[in-house]
Amino acid sequence: MIVLVGLGNPGRKYVNTRHNVGFQFLDYLAREERTDFVLNKYFNAEIARTTIKDQDIFMVKPQSFMNLSGASVQGVISYFHVPVDKVWVIYDDVDLDLETIRVRKEGSSGGHKGLQSIIDCLGSAAIPRFRIGVKTKALEKIPTEKYVLQKFSPEEQRTIDKVLEKTRELILKALKEGIADVSK
C-alpha cells in the first residue's frame, strides 16, 4: 500500500492557491482514477482509494491547516500499518520555479512547515516527496506567506495543469520502478 499525501489548506478560500497544489494534484489523480474523496472524521482527512499498477493507493488530504498535517498522516499510517517509506508527500515549493518537479527519497523539510509537521509526527525524514515548483517573478514583490496563499493566474493554472499530468507520470514510474529510480 502507498499513501499519497497532498498538502494544502481546507476550505473554499484556499482552492487553487499555490499552497494547495498538493490537494490539486490529488484531485486531478482522483478524477483520472475515477474515484471520489470522502471525509473521514477519525483521521481528519479526505480519503480516496484506488488501485494503480496492482498497488493499493490511499490518497489523503489532511483537513487541518497545512502546518498541522502530520497528525492526520500519523493516524492513517498507524491504523493501516504503513511504513514511513510508503508515505509519499506531494506539496508546493516556493524555491522551485513554476513547471519544476523534484522527487526526493528523503531529506529535510527545507523549511516547508507542512512537511515538517509530518516529519515531526512520524519521527523520520525518510519520507519520499514530490515537490512542485510554484515560484514566479511575483514572489519578488510580496512576502512568501502571502504569495503562497494567492490563486494561480489563468496562465499559471494552465502550466500547473501540465505539471500535474507530469507529476502523475512520475508517480506511475515510481510505482513501477521504485522511488529511487525516479529521483535520480
Q: Which residues are annotated as a binding site for tRNA?
A: 14, 65, 67
Strand, helix or coil for residue 3: strand
Annotation marks residue 19 as catalytic: yes
CA distance 19 to 145: 9
Task: Exactly one of 4, 8, 17, 19 is catalytic; name it.
Answer: 19
Phi, psi (rounded to 5 degrees) for 128? -60, 145
Grid coordinates standing for 27?
Answer: 484531485
Grid coordinates standing for 109?
Answer: 523539510
Place of cell 494567492: 150
Q: Provide the annotated active-site residues.
A: 19
